[in-house]
Amino acid sequence: AVEETLVLVKPDGVARNLTGEILRRIEAKGYSLVDIRLVQPDRSLLAKHYEEHEGKPFYEPLVEFMLSGSIVAIRVAGDRVIEGFRSLAGTTDPTTAAPGTIRGDFGRDWGLKVQQNLVHGSDSPESAARELSLWFK
Ligand code: CMP
């Protein structure tokens, strides 16, 4: 079924000029860009976005990292795009993410308290609806 998902190019991806490469992979896979914006999120948006991680050891470093620079938010549509984008992104840890994925090809592990793993993709239809309503008012 055709779905929509939220993709974020995180501050490390924007700073490393990987936005074009990430958009290229999304488009090459056949997904459609529905909306896109460059965002300087505030703490309250990130607290809502990451509410399920509140209290975890990486939560504060994660929010600080996400506040460290611009983010590109993208509304992406396509058949099974929620699962499909997560497959394009690769697993959370960039060191072990498979080559051929965004994180596997470009992600680096700096031994930081949080995985600076270039991209975010919604993990379920419920998350996608919730997150899209936060980033695209
Ligand atoms: P994301 O898909 O945006 O969802 C939560 C983020 O937290 C994740 O990508 C990583 O950036 C980070 N993260 C998740 N699990 C861990 C972990 N065990 N250690 C460090 N960072 C993590």
43-87 pLDDT, tens per residue? 999 999 999 999 999 999 999 999 999 999 999 999 999 999 999
Annotated binding site for ATP: 10, 58, 86, 92, 103, 117
Q: Tell me the CA–centroid distance for residue 120 and ligand 1, in Å.
A: 9
pTM of the shown model: 0.96
117 contacts 94 by C-beta, under 8 angstroms: yes
- CA neighbor of 3 nearest in space, from 123, 100, 91: 123
Sheet holding 119-121, edge to edge: 32-39, 71-79, 2-9, 119-121
Name the DSSP class of 99: B
Are the beta carbons of 73 and 10 closer than 8 angstroms? no
